[in-house]
Each structure stands twice: as C-alpha cells, then as structure tokens.
Amino acid sequence: MSPNHPTKNTKYTKSAKKIWLEWTRSHGMEAAHTMTTITKPRGTTEDDITAEVLRRFDATAQPRLRDIMQSLVRHLHAFVKDVELTEGEWMTAIQFLTKTGHMCDDKRQEFILLSDTLGVSMVVDLINHRKPEGATESTVFGPFHRDGAPELPAGGNIAPRDKKGVPTIVSGRVLTLDGGPIAGAWLDVWQADSSGLYDSQYAGTDELHLRGRFRSDEDGRFLIRTVRPVYYAIPTDGPVGRMLSATNRHPWRPAHIHFVVSAEGCEPVTTHIFDDADPYLESDTVFAVKNSLMCTFVRHDSRDEDAARFGVEPPFCTARFDFVLKPALR
C-alpha cells in the first residue's frame, strides 16, 4: 500500500468526504479506493507533480495498463522538462494533434502517417516481429490498406486501368523455413499507381484499384500482374506534411509493393518488396527499408521467353521474390 493510501484513520473534511462518497456510489465503486488525503502537502515542484501523477496510477487493476500509463507519464514529463516547453509550444502541439485527428476518415489515416514519419511504427514493428534467420522480415503496414480487394487467379492483373505504367509480372513462392512449399497461402497485395497515388487518394471515387488477393498453388507459387511501382510522396497537405516541411525533411518513399502473406499454421507477415534501383532507399521518409526486402525489377525490351510465357508485350518488367513464413506460436 502506498504511504498516502487512505486508511480508516485518515481524516477528511466533511464536505470532501461527502462529495467523494456520492461520486463513488454513483460510479459503483468502493469508497476510499483511490482517494487522496486532503491533509497531504501539495506538490510545489515539477518533480513533485510527476511523482503525484505516477502515484495516482498505482491502483490500476491491470498491471500492464499501469506500467504503460506510468512509463508514458515519466517520459512525457521528462520531455516537457527537457525542452522547457513554453505555453505557446504546448498549444501548438494541442492544435497539431487536433488537426491530425480532424484529417482522419475512412480513407485517410493521418495518425498512422505521423507514427510512420516519427519512426514509431518501425520500432513497434521490430519489437513485435522478431524473425528467425531466413524468415521474411516485416515492415510498416502504412495508411493505405483497404478491405475488400478482389480475389484474383494466378496472373490476374491488379492494375487494369493503369495504362501509363510499365507492365510488370511479380512471381515467386511462399515457403516454410526449411524451404518447403506452402500451398493455399493468401497474398493480399496493394500498391500506388504509376502516378504515385493510391486509389483512395483520387477524389470522387470509391473504386478499388491496384489491389488484389492471390493464393499460392500446390508448389507455393504465385503470379501477379501489375505495373512497376514508382517512388511517391506521402500526403503533404495535412499536419504531417507541415511537420516534414518545417523540419526540412522530404516526403518520399522508395518504390515498393505492399504484401500481407498468411497461411494456416504460420505467422502472417506484413511487408513490402522494394525496387532495389530506387533513389530513395537510403532516406525512406517512414524508415521502412530492410536489406532483405530488396527486389530486382528486370526490364525486358524484346519479345523474349518471358514475354511469351506471361503474354505481355515489351517493354515490361519481371520481379521475383520468395516469402518465407515462420510457424505460428501455439
């Protein structure tokens, strides 16, 4: 029990006790559970406030929630003290977060964008998805995934309306850690078009484009028709864009295709494959690049074997990438 926890001998003023009892009864709580004694001296320094805020979370029933709240308070207070935050800066932060929330709807997720551009998403990803040697590494989910992508057959085209992009065939296998094929794995795929925009960024339409769900065959193979991904800027018309501009950071992401690959008995992986020739690999604005996710997009300018095999006219690209899933935890 903390030293300030009320006991049967604790003295309260009559009015404070009455208010407390009424409030706890109205909330169905046990009286005197977390009440602060009014005889306790009030904190007068920044550190006193920090200590008192931490103490108020002592009685949190869930240990994990208590740990998270107390750590959050410790770090948040330390940050405010470290930079000696002015009242004007505090209000700017409140307005920034308010605008970030107002920017969110069913198509736009400015908070994920903020998390991504602050590197928080990648730290969370690394903590939560430590992979054994050989398993495909994960990376950020990003703000552009949408439910409802169509299920397509092997070789299905996710970019039928993109006439400017370079036709591209992405193929590979879904494998276990020991190299065996995984049949019937799901590959949920999405990417930006050849103008660097996702379907949800076009005004006036809800149509899905450059999205699809594929299944691996009995040998674990998959085949996807798309267009070559291009580098693109994350949306800069909101508070995150203003933050990047104010801090002299660029908004570019290297060319990539998003995947969520899942299979029965395996841990799903949320990841990208990156074009290994992209100029922004070293400075991805969301810090998501990993060496193991590099993929070579080979350009074909003649009617070669692959053109005949895939039924495409040059110029086109082929890219090959195998996904390796680790077993799910039991």
Binding residues (CB under 5 A) for Fe ion: these are 142
Strand order in the sheet with 269-275: 211-215, 186-190, 256-262, 269-275, 294-295
State the minimum distance, in angstroms, from the CB of residue 279 to Fe ion.
16
Radius of gyration of the chain measured on its C-alpha atoms:
27
Q: Would you say 12 or 144 has its CB closer to Fe ion?
A: 144
Closest Cα to residue 285, out of 243, 228, 227, 238?
243
The pair of three-digit structure tokens given for residue 183, joined into one six-digit string: 């049949």
Categorise residue 288: left if φ over 0, alpha if ψ from -120 to 50, beta otherwise: alpha
Q: Would you say 17 or 145 has its CB closer to Fe ion?
A: 145
Q: Would you say 142 or 172 has its CB closer to Fe ion?
A: 142
Closest-approach residue to Fe ion (CB)? 142
State the minimum distance, in angstroms, from the CB of residue 210 to Fe ion.
10
State the minimum distance, in angstroms, from the CB of residue 16 to Fe ion.
55
10 Å Cβ neighbour count for 233?
Answer: 15
Q: Would you say 50 or 139 has its CB closer to Fe ion?
A: 139
Q: Would you say 253 or 300 has its CB closer to Fe ion?
A: 253
State the minimum distance, in angstroms, from the CB of residue 37 to Fe ion.
54
Q: Please, what's the b/e burial string for 106-133 (b: 16 or more CB within 10 A of its CB; e: otherwise)?
A: eebbbbbbbbbbeeebbeebeeebebee
Cβ proximity of 233 and 252 under 8 Å:
yes
State the minimum distance, in angstroms, from the CB of residue 256 to Fe ion.
6
